[in-house]
Chains A and B, each alone.
Chain A
């Protein structure tokens, strides 16, 4: 509402009305540019996030359970996780050229490190009592890891995975903006090149909707289940 009033007052093409944005959205859907960009971005996100999730959880488990890994890689992981992952784009373009791999490096690094850090802290917070109980029943090594440590740390791992997802989406958009390669980020650039703020906003709306929808689809039920089962929703 406020937006509609403000933009009709300003009445310049640089500050489009909601109706204008909706029009641009429909147009971009019709001519296929938006669906194509969306498809490209979602595919990249799926691949990058899956890699980051697998790598991040594995790294976090190793950091949380192995003193050796912690000593060797701990400071590095903490240091790197403070760097916005888009900073790796120049290096990764030098290494991989203008390729899918170059942009995936940014997505994977952006999500992997926060997932690893969250997983590590979840593992460290597993009550030692459960570990001791499992050991008295004969659990050790990998069986202890998969049977007790991972399920016990699951609430924290899920929280890390969710955080990692938002990082993956952000890194991807930043990467696509700077890197001509299709995808929603590039469509934003196209909007700018055409001097079409309605298109830019239409893409932003799409990104917001995509992020929310995927987050709900992936995490909503999982979080509820975990909170109920693990009792983290009770005082």
Chain B
């Protein structure tokens, strides 16, 4: 297996700043998924988003990626408005987003062929990237032949292929066992230190957020919004079981617990209100309330 001392030796484009300026977004009219969120991620900064399910973490990543366009406010990359997806902002998703019909190597080469990179350079880049994530031996394997951890490594290699300035990661390790997750956290930190890319990392796991983030952004629900930001003053590379990690985790967990309890209360209310006409009425979304 790999070790976190195996430093990826590549240099490429350094990070760009990523900004949400007063952004709101709704999937359906009248129901805000994100309400007035502002967040500035510095170039070369690693920011983690934590929050309960439904707090809009994935939505924020999609907005940053340019997959969704805000209803209000602006999304900026290095101060320039984002107008759609771009290879300069790469996304790593939670589950197997590698294409099953392509070998690992072909998966990593795919974004390169989209940007018109020639065959030989593609092959060289793919080899190098797979080495970075310790998968060089598995270049010819197909995704279903790999473990979950290897697949996510492959997805990271594919995301790095176009040498993005911003790396957006949506709970990439949520489906992995604790040991594998810890190893991959170390690898993300190594890649971050070696490349200087900007990383926005979404997770449910407060410990993971504190382990990785320069800052941790705590999100709340109904509507999805940013509650507060905590700077993590621990030097890198970090030891996974640093004492100070625990202190931050305790602090942030209290905040999350309050949010989750709020949701539980509201859901109990919903159940009580529901019988009226059979329509699900959500008290948190009364006009002008909570938005």
Contacts and interface: CB of A to CB of B under 8 A. Distances in A.
B81 interface: no
- Main secondary structure on chain A at its contact with chain B? helix
A148 B89 CA distance: 20
A138 B101 contact: no
B100 A230 contact: yes
Nearest to B162: A137
Interface in A131-183: 132-133, 135-139, 143, 147-148, 151-152, 154
Interface string B139-156: 000101000000000000
A21 to B, nearest CB: 46
Contact of B91 (A133, A151, A154, A229): A133
B99 interface: yes
B175 interface: no
Given A138-B85, A138-B115, A231-B100, 11 more contacts: A132-B62, A132-B91, A132-B97, A136-B66, A136-B89, A137-B110, A138-B114, A138-B162, A143-B114, A147-B114, A231-B144
B111 A138 contact: yes
30 contacts: A129-B93, A130-B97, A132-B67, A132-B91, A132-B97, A133-B91, A133-B93, A133-B97, A136-B65, A136-B66, A136-B85, A136-B89, A136-B91, A137-B85, A137-B87, A137-B90, A137-B110, A137-B111, A137-B114, A137-B162, A138-B87, A138-B111, A139-B114, A143-B114, A147-B110, A151-B99, A152-B101, A229-B101, A230-B100, A231-B144
A77 to B, nearest CB: 27
A123 to B, nearest CB: 15
A148 B162 contact: no
B108 to A, nearest CB: 11
A234 B144 contact: yes
A230 B142 CA distance: 9
B86 interface: yes
B36 interface: no
Interface string B55-92: 00000001001110000000000000000011101110
The binding surface of chain B is classed by DSSP as loop
B42 interface: no
Contacts of A154: 101
A223 to B, nearest CB: 14
B266 interface: no
Contacts, number: 56
Contacts of B89: 136
B67 A229 contact: no
Contacts of A147: 110, 114
B95 A129 contact: yes
Contacts of A230: 100-101
A159 to B, nearest CB: 16
Contacts of B114: 137-139, 143, 147
B99 A130 contact: yes
A135 B84 CA distance: 9
B101 A151 contact: yes
A235 to B, nearest CB: 12
A163 to B, nearest CB: 21
A129 B162 contact: no
Given A151-B101, A154-B101, A138 B93 contact: no
A132 B68 CA distance: 11
B102 to A, nearest CB: 8
Nearest to B102: A151
Q: Give chain A's interface residue range (CB within 8 Å of chain B).
A: 10 to 19
Nearest to B97: A133
Nearest to A155: B101
Contacts of A139: 114
A229 B99 contact: no
A148 B86 CA distance: 17
A193 to B, nearest CB: 52
Contacts of A231: 100, 144
A139 B111 CA distance: 8
A230 to B, nearest CB: 5
A233 to B, nearest CB: 10
A143 B114 CA distance: 8
Contacts of A135: 67, 85
A231 B99 CA distance: 11
Contact of B86 (A132, A138, A143, A234): A138
Interface string A219-235: 00000000001110010
B31 to A, nearest CB: 20
Nearest 7 pairs of A and B residues by beta carbon: A137-B111, A133-B97, A136-B91, A231-B144, A138-B114, A151-B101, A138-B87
A138 B114 CA distance: 7
B92 to A, nearest CB: 9
Given A133-B93, A136-B85, A136-B90, A229 B110 contact: no
B85 A152 contact: no
Nearest to A133: B97
